[in-house]
Structure 1
Amino acid sequence: MNRVRGPQCPLVREASCASSPQRFLSFCLDSIGAERIRYTTEYTCEGRELNISCPENYQIHLVRANYGRLSIGICNDFGRLDWSVNCMSYKSFLIMQDRCAHKSSCGTHVSSSLFGDPCPGTLKYLEMQYHCVLGEYHLREAYLRIW
């Protein structure tokens, strides 16, 4: 478990993050008012399976999703530097919202056939930030301001 600062956990001074070579996970704590909110950012490389789940009686509430590439360091085993890092599929959020919102778990094969190919020739990944909430709880508007 590494301690990190910065863009992986915006508005958070410090967070714990765990990672593996092809799949990255970061757990971040944010506070808005008196509430402590735990959200998860998961990165799944193109061609791999995304599977996320929440504890029993909890549901997935999607905060943010992007299929493309915004960082050269994620899903880049060979250290390529010639890929676009301003690459976004604008329908990513709607697709993942449809597949995952208000469910206890969801999964999908991460590929351009699902999301489109916003940057041909660049290996892409799905970045998904979500929050597990109890029952029918709905996120407040203030929570959405973290992105």
Structure 2
Amino acid sequence: MLETFYRAYVEEKRDGEKLEKRVEALEKDIDNIKKKGESKGKLTTVIICENHQGYIRCDNDETIHIIQANYGRTEGGNICPHASIRDTNCYSTNAKGVVGTKCNGRRECNLESNNGIFGDPCIGTYKYMSVQFTCIPDSTNV
């Protein structure tokens, strides 16, 4: 029984460390943008519920810069309400890379929020994609 508690503690600690690393990476991305003076606009967050599509865009002289993206669930029923919410500590490991590859450097970008693209990080939980981005000056127009 003690071994079971220890395993749960180790898993919880690992999850906490992963979350801390994600927060640190996000803060570093924001600092880098501020240092470069690239951010003309504000940080924008878009939520797209599971099995739905969304769209992000910048002005004509700007391009998208993805700051953070997650497919999973970190909030209760206040975001994308659904009867199947079992896990609110749910993070996709590949969302930022997938969204960044698709959208960074473009003026507009269509996004889909589903398990086929990101995998299923929390089976049995209705998920959503959260994307934080800013618009930066288009380097081809400088």
Name the structure where strand makes up a greater proportion of residues.
Answer: 1
Correspondent of 1:51 among 52, 55, 72: 55
SS in 2 for 1:38: coil
State the distance in 2 between where 1:130 and 1:43 align.
12
Give yes or no for the alignment of 1:74 onto 2:79.
yes
Give yes or no for the alignment of 1:42 onto 2:46.
yes
Query: Which of 1 and 2 has greater Rg?
Result: 2
Q: Give structure 2 stretches of 5+ with no counterpart.
A: 1-26, 28-33
* Contact 2:84–2:126 (CA under 8 A) maintained in structure 1: no
Other-structure match for 1:61: 65
Correspondent of 2:129 among 109, 112, 126: 126
Q: TM-score, normalised by structure 1?
A: 0.65
State the distance in 1 between where 2:53 and 2:100 align.
17
The Cα RMSD (Å) is 2.6
Name the structure where helix makes up a greater proportion of residues.
Answer: 2
How much identity, in percent, do the aligned residues show? 30
Q: Give structure 1 stretches of 5+ with no counterpart.
A: 1-10, 12-31, 138-147
State the distance in 2 between where 1:81 and 1:49 align.
20
Q: TM-score, normalised by structure 2?
A: 0.67
- For residues 57-104 of structure 1, the C-alpha deviation after alignment (integer angstroms, 9 at most, x for no partner) is 11000100000000012101x5x4852000000100000000000000
**Count of aligned pairs between the two proteins:** 106
